[in-house]
Chain A
């Protein structure tokens, strides 16, 4: 006998073949006593009556629903949901979904806020989503679904009118904490989170409920509980005062934890649990096995990435500024200028072609030595020439010198003002409608003719300024030979202390803002007391002629194009969202900081020491020449970065405007959807050749993938023979007396409490004397440095921004300290011995 519908509580609902994976799981949770919304299931028997011989490849015609089904449906709706105005959720429950091998997460349709008379229609749409383009794409390359498992039941639930929702992984998906539970939460329905449309709060809890890590995301949008939003695709803005506030209270987080662990106990393995709160009542909406769990700390995911042939190594100069994957639009545009033979983007991260590097570098290095050199890690290996490779390398070097030597020499003496030409070019391109985002990128970074001023070639100047490390190497070798007792700290004082460096002026700008704010006691008190989310209102309440507003406007005029993750085009700039700036001002205000180290005096003292250490005049002259060159190139590198990031901000502004236009035309749902498309797709949308329906699935899939990749640590090496994919990372927390190891980027010793900051846009409070521990740093982190007693970062090198700025402020800095953000804890007292490359744990 055909069973058309089954009550979720009925014993039949345990039969996966009859009710599908999702409903069978919910039945198990329900019988285990967990809180699951009322529901019934339209069975796979009903599906087979309408699709007698379903074929996974051939898309069928939409069927007419049989009268018996319509009758049974009506009766089930009346029985289960007697109130006439009950909104319902209609959700797919395919037989093959939610298994350990394939979750089919988000591949089939779900409809929210369905009225009783629309349920039949929604059921038919759910069935047809079994053949949707993205479901077919998901099945491609996986184990084929057998004929008997290619069927779909449909779950009809009471709609949970969620005011907060999220997911809970009963194992840390990053793999850093083997047994920890990770909760992600956002406002409104969970659809926005599951689809990767918001940056959720991320809470890492031990299994007994203690908080290990908490990251509050900036939740700018939510999917509101609303009847006119049946597919959950429409986002609405989250009020400013809620964006940076924790979604879950402690009690709510504990409730989610307990219910999720109970679900794990029911199924006997790690679960990915979807939950929602309606008021104070928690509902479990779904539970499925985790299919993409990181293995240890390697970040290898099951069934997602097929790595390209060849050997690849992470491009450290980008990775040391941020580890998150780039969005598809950033990857697409940047990959247009990255020669495939040299590098490529894998999982949104930039990698170098390891074999090509091995061919080009004429040294007798094994894979380990070459990898360390490319990752700018450890002591440089001895340069033993490989004579067979030497002629090719020499020829390539000579040709490169003839091709770009002119530009190289031109960057040797540039005034900082010359780059104002680039700023002017950015302004001109920004307002010139002839440049679309791609053309703007080309014009600003690559479209330079041979007779163009170097001041307009900020990126090229930035790259060539990297040669300062050659001068540092030369200076160190020279001093090692002629003044072996010369102190390391003197070398740092010699090479730093350039007062006009843009990064330092930016810190001065923040200090100036704090000074102006402190002159208005009311404003200072408000800034100190106000949570960051109230800053927008605070600013709006000030008259425009208020000195602080004028000072902030001046600051943003100069530095408004900066932000964290500057080459990521999807990142809002400080001009668009000055909350980070205000947080740093607040930091300075709260601690009444005044950074007044007289670095120039230290530099002059070090020069005197150099003169005394080197007896001969030619030695002094040569050493001081090297020092001048180092100071010039370090400043050039920092200053050109200040300018070339204007180019990325210009391209972003064009993309944002285009996104807005496409939203107004109805071709996109949300403005930042543009960042999850390729340029070709956006261009086609703009020309009307594509519509939202053509790209909706792609956007959704890429957002989800991007979110999944964001949780994972990138592999340092891919397919390099005899090498582990990453350096060895320990997930264990060190105990008292243990130590962590890294590489010295700025010497010195400091002791203090650990302050872990994962993202300066959401948490930037650092007290003087704290040890700043971060996953990476880029220029937007700079204002935190003068406050810190020492800086410790997971990824970086002597040449990285962290090292450069730490040396400027004579702060000890350790880089490449594996998993330090996971292995250290907030408040833990540590001693950083940068010269020795280690951190001692004083108190656990």
Chain B
């Protein structure tokens, strides 16, 4: 059950974190916060129904997504700086 919940919460976590990261992107802060709150609503409803049993899968999903996202971006930069993606040069 927890695993299933964790898998369901993965895309939801992407959506929620995108809402949170949007605070960095300028624009109307109140609109962004409203959007974030609306995205958190399904989680609150889920927690309401499932109680504390939902906390661990939710936290796991958020951490997983944040980790993958951070590793993907910093890892890409690291690999690029070391020329690991380098295509063969031809002129």
**Interface readout for B50-63 with A: 1 if CB under 8 Å, 0 if not?**
00000000000000
Contact of A450 with B91 at beta-carbon distance under 8 Å, contacts A406-B65, A413-B27, A418-B27 already known: no
List the B residue with the shortest CB-CB distance to A339. B85
Please list the 8 inter-chain residue pairs (A to B) with the smallest Cβ-Cβ separation, ordered nearest first: A409-B18, A403-B72, A405-B14, A328-B91, A335-B87, A340-B87, A339-B85, A344-B87
Interface residues of B (CB under 8 A from A): 10-11, 14-15, 17-19, 21-22, 24-27, 35, 64-65, 68-70, 72-74, 76-77, 80-81, 83, 85-91
User: Which of A337, A418, A442, A706 touches B26 (beta carbons < 8 Å)?
Assistant: A418
Q: By the criterion CB–CB under 8 Å, are A402 and B25 in contact?
A: no
Cβ-defined contact, B25 with A446, below 8 A: no
Chain A residues with CB below 8 A from B11, complex form: 401, 405
Instruction: Judge whether B91 and A455 touch: CB under 8 Å.
Output: no
Sample of 8 more A-B contacts, CB < 8 Å, known A331-B89, A413-B27:
A345-B89, A345-B90, A403-B68, A415-B26, A446-B80, A450-B70, A453-B26, A455-B25
B85 with A442: CB separation less than 8 A: no
Whole-angstrom distance between the alpha carbons of A480 and B72 in the complex?
Answer: 40
Q: For chains A and B in complex, what number of residue pairs have CB atoms within 8 angstroms?
A: 116
Kindly identify, within residues 703 to 736 of chain A, every residue whose CB is under 8 Å from any CB belonging to chain B.
705-706
Which residues of A have CB within 8 Å of B35? Answer: 413
Cβ-neighbour of A449 out of B68, B74, B88, B90 (below 8 A): B74
Does A452 touch B at the CB level, under 8 Å?
yes
Contact of B22 (CB < 8 Å), options: A346, A410, A442: A410
A348 proximity list for chain B (CB < 8 A): 91
Given the contacts A410-B18, A410-B21, A702-B91, A338 and B85 also touching, CB distance less than 8 Å? yes
Residues of B near A446 (CB, < 8 A) are: 76-77, 80
> Do A344 and B88 contact each other (CB < 8 Å), given the known contacts A446-B76, A455-B26?
yes
A415 to B29, CA, bound (A): 12
Does the CB pair A331–B90 fall under 8 Å?
yes
A451 in the interface, Cβ–Cβ < 8 Å? Answer: yes
Pairs A–B under 8 Å by Cβ, sample size 30: A308-B90, A331-B90, A332-B89, A336-B80, A336-B85, A340-B85, A340-B86, A344-B87, A348-B91, A401-B14, A402-B65, A403-B72, A404-B69, A405-B11, A405-B15, A405-B65, A406-B21, A407-B18, A409-B19, A414-B25, A415-B27, A418-B26, A442-B77, A442-B81, A447-B77, A448-B73, A452-B24, A453-B26, A455-B25, A455-B26
Collect the chain B residues with CB atoms within 8 Å of residue A447's CB: 77
- Residues of chain A contacted by B24 (CB below 8 angstroms): 451-454
The chain B residue sitting closest to A418, CB to CB, is B26
| A383-409 with Cβ < 8 A to chain B | 399, 401-409
Interface centre among A345, A348, A450 (most CB of B within 10 A): A450
Least distance between A92 CB and chain B CB atoms (Å): 25
Task: Decide if A613 is an interface residue (CB 8 Å cutoff).
Answer: no
A345 engages B87 (CB within 8 Å): yes
Interchain CB contact under 8 A, B73 and A410? no
B72 contacts which chain A residues (CB < 8 A)?
Answer: 403-404
Decide: B25 and A454 in contact? CB cutoff 8 A.
yes
- In the complex, what distance in Å separates the CA atom of A221 from the CA atom of B74? 45
User: Which residue, of B22, B26, B73, B81, has the highest number of chain A Cβ atoms within 10 A?
Assistant: B73
A453 vs B89: C-alpha distance when bound (angstroms):
33
Q: Which of A433-451 contact B (CB under 8 A)?
A: 442, 446-451
- A335:B89 contact, CB within 8 angstroms: yes
A417 contacts B by Cβ under 8 Å: yes
Nearest CB in chain A: distance from B44 CB, A: 20
A402 touches B69 (CB 8 A): yes
Tell me the A residues contacting B by CB distance below 8 Å. 308, 328, 331-332, 335-340, 343-348, 399, 401-410, 413-415, 417-418, 421, 442, 446-455, 678, 702, 705-706
Contact present for A410 and B25 (CB under 8 Å):
yes
- For the complex formed, measure the closest distance between the CB of B25 and the CB atoms of chain A, giving whole angstroms: 5
B21, A331: Cβ atoms closer than 8 Å: no
Closest A residue by C-beta to B25: A454
Residues of B within 8 A of A453 (CB): 24-26
CA distance A308 to B87 in the complex (A): 12
Residue of B with least CB distance to A402: B68
Nearest-CB distance from A632 to chain B (Å)?
13
Q: Give min CB distance, A674 to chain B, whole Å.
A: 14
Residues of A within 8 A of B14 (CB): 401-402, 405-406, 409
Neighbouring A residues of B69 by C-beta, 8 Å? 402-407, 450
Q: How far is the CB of A667 from chain B (nearest CB, A)?
A: 20
A403 to B89, CA, bound (A): 28
Bound CA span A825–B19, Å: 55
* Docked CA distance A399–B75 (Å): 14
B17 and A406 within 8 A (CB): yes
Which chain A residue has the least Cβ–Cβ distance from B31?
A413
The chain B residue sitting closest to A306, CB to CB, is B90
Given that A402-B68, A449-B74 are known contacts, is A339 also in contact with B87, CB under 8 Å in the complex? yes
Q: Find chain A residues with CB under 8 A from B86 CB.
A: 335-336, 340
* CB pair A450 B74 closer than 8 Å: yes
A346 to B15 CA separation, bound complex (whole angstroms): 39
Bound-complex Cα distance A415 to B22 (A):
11
In contact, B73 and A450 (Cβ under 8 angstroms): yes
| Residue among A331, A336, A344, A348 with most chain B CB within 10 A | A336
Bound CA–CA A449/B90 (angstroms): 31
Give the residues in chain B near A403, CB-CB below 8 Å: 68-69, 72
Q: Which residues of A contact B83 (CB under 8 A)?
A: 336
CB distance from B82 to the nearest CB of A (A): 10
Measured between beta carbons, the chain A residues less than 8 angstroms from B15 are 405, 409
- B66 CB, min distance to chain A CBs, angstroms: 8
Closest chain B residue to A705, Cβ basis: B91
State A407–B18 Cα separation when bound (angstroms): 7
Contacts of A442 in B (CB 8 A): 77, 80-81
* Bound Cα distance A328, B65 (Å): 39
Chain B: which residue is nearest A439 at the CB level? B81
Please indicate the chain B residues that have their CB under 8 angstroms from the CB of A406 in the complex: 14, 17-18, 21, 65, 69
Report the separation of the CA atoms of residues A388 and B72 in the bound assembly, to the nearest whole angstrom: 27
CB-CB under 8 A from A404, the residues of chain B are 69, 72
Query: What residue of chain B has the Cβ atom nearest to residue A406's Cβ?
Result: B18
Give chain A residues whose Cβ lies under 8 Å from the Cβ of B22: 409-410, 413
**B26 and A417 contact, CB distance less than 8 A:** yes
Least Cβ distance of A456 to chain B in Å? 9
Shortest CB–CB separation between residue B67 and chain A, in angstroms? 9
List A contacts of B73 (CB < 8 A): 448-450
Give the residue of A343, A448, A450 whose beta carbon is less than 8 angstroms from that of B87. A343
Chain B: CB-nearest residue to A340: B87
Chain A residues closer than 8 Å to B74, beta-carbon distance:
449-450
Q: How far is the CB of A197 from chain B (nearest CB, A)?
A: 16
User: Closest CB-CB distance, B37 to chain A, in whole Å?
Assistant: 15
Distance, CA A761 to CA B57, complexed state (A): 59
The answer to whether B85 and A337 have CB atoms under 8 Å apart is yes
* Residues in A neighbouring B17, C-beta threshold 8 A: 406
A402 touches B64 (CB 8 A): yes
> Whole-angstrom distance between the alpha carbons of A180 and B4 in the complex?
70
Report the minimum CB–CB distance from B29 to chain A (whole Å). 12
Determine if B91 and A335 form an interchain contact, defined as CB atoms under 8 angstroms apart. no
CA separation between A447 and B75, bound complex, in Å? Answer: 11
B91:A331 contact, CB within 8 angstroms: yes
Find the A residue at minimum CB distance from B64.
A402
- Complex interface: chain B residues within 8 A of A452 (CB): 24
